[in-house]
Amino acid sequence: MRHIKWLLITACILLAACGGSAPTSTALLPTPTVPRKGGNMSTSTGNFTNPVYDSNFPDPFVLKEGDTYYAFSTTSGGKHYPTLISKDLVHWEEGPDAMPEMADWTAGNTWAPEVLKLHDGLYLMYYTAEWIEVGLQCIGIAESRRPLGPYVDRNKRPFICQQDEGGSIDADPFRDDDGSLYLYWKNDGNRIGMNTYIYGVRLSPNGRRMVGKPKRLLAGEPNWEINWIEAPFMWKHEGRYYLFYSANAYNTPDYAVGYAICEGPLGPCRKGPENPILRSKCAAAGPGHNSVTVDKHGRPWFVYHAWHPDAIGSIEPGRVLWIDRLVVEHGKAKVLGPTCHPQPIP
């Protein structure tokens, strides 16, 4: 019966997408709340079991500062941008709303924040919100002197908004080894029935201006991605650029993560033939929208959200927080998950 239910949900999403009215990548389905208690399931043995935060925390991004991890998510629990704080990626405490006061150009629908620390100590948060003037999701920039904010955006309009391509969402800032800055994002094409792409552009040293024109790095394809690609995250490892992305309808078990290897921060990029590298398994349905961080030993960890299989589309528990090891074998990225059995705390 569960497989039938998932197939029906997927069919509905695909029909909506063909009609040009598919739900946008982070809107929630109007399904009933499913009560569930518990947070991370760490034990006194030094192990933990996913999820590490068993409440709604979609589109997670983790910023590591010293020995502390700060996590940011899409709107939930009455906060525009909820935050969590941890010392080990497993035990999380709730933090403040990173941006309690929104910019004048916005009209809610606050999604997918990511934070970049500049060399002068200023933090920039690249975020998605609805531009009230045009009714599309667009990317803004807010700033703070502290990692958890409060972030303030004094701009009168968004930083990026591709109005002829459905809007712009899911911004991902990246600093290369030479200090140069880049930004990646997705056009919200599924909102208007057109294809979706991952874009990239170089940024000025202050992170507030584009240097040159944006480039299309990846396109959604009519395979497992169903022409629906989003949530870019650039990661550099041993001199090679890995561009992670999520694809398919976010509110189905078919949502999954792929990656591409890029010759430089602005491509060209080639998708991994083994994609997707993270897909539904055990207690994780529709895993995706990842970021990458490292533990105290310098080992990479993949941070992502997933639904409980019996609560896809729910507001609570919603999309809960998972972590799993990220490794590179023979130049190929591999996520050791979703992992449902106990594993050592990072």
pLDDT tens, residue by residue, 25-48:
433 333 333 434 334 554 567 999
Q: Map out the domains of the chain as residue ranges.
A: 2-344
Which CATH number is 2-344 given?
A: 2.115.10.20
| DSSP conformation class of 22 | P
Q: What's the mean per-residue pLDDT of the chain?
A: 90
Instruction: Return the number of other C-beta atoms located less than 10 Å from residue 142's C-beta.
Output: 25
Predicted pLDDT at 45: 76
- Over range 164-174, report the average pLDDT: 98
- pLDDT > 70? residue 280: yes
Q: Is the pTM of the predicted complex or chain greater than 0.85?
A: yes
Which residue do the tokens 């074998």 mark?
A: 329
Helix ranges restricted to H, 87-210? none
- How far is the C-alpha of 232 from the C-alpha of 141, rounded, in Å? 17
Lowest mean pLDDT: which of 2-16, 131-145, 258-272? 2-16
- Over range 253-268, report the average pLDDT: 98
Closest CA to 322 of 294, 283, 267: 283
Predicted pLDDT at 43: 54
Per-residue confidence at 69, pLDDT binned at 50, 70, 90? very high
Per-residue confidence at 247, pLDDT binned at 50, 70, 90? very high
Predicted pLDDT at 265: 98
Predicted pLDDT at 18: 36
Lowest mean pLDDT: which of 29-33, 45-49, 146-150, 154-158? 29-33
- Residue 142 one-letter amino acid: A
- Over range 137-155, report the average pLDDT: 98
- Over range 99-119, report the average pLDDT: 97
- How far is the C-alpha of 177 from the C-alpha of 47, rounded, in Å? 34
- pLDDT > 60? residue 10: no
Predicted pLDDT at 41: 52
Tell the burial category of 60 from Cβ atoms under 10 Å away from its Cβ (0-12, 13-18, 19+).
Answer: buried
Per-residue confidence at 9, pLDDT binned at 50, 70, 90? very low
pLDDT greater at residue 206 or residue 38: 206
Contact assessment for residue 248 and residue 196, using Cβ atoms and an 8 Å cutoff: no
Predicted pLDDT at 16: 37
Predicted pLDDT at 24: 39
Q: Could you give the percent of the chain with pLDDT greater than 90?
A: 87
Per-residue confidence at 107, pLDDT binned at 50, 70, 90? very high
Which secondary structure element, helix H or strand E, spans residue 15, and what is its range?
A: helix 2-18
pLDDT tens, residue by residue, 290-330:
999 999 999 999 999 999 999 999 999 999 999 999 999 99
Lookup: tokens for 277: 């590298």
Predicted pLDDT at 316: 94
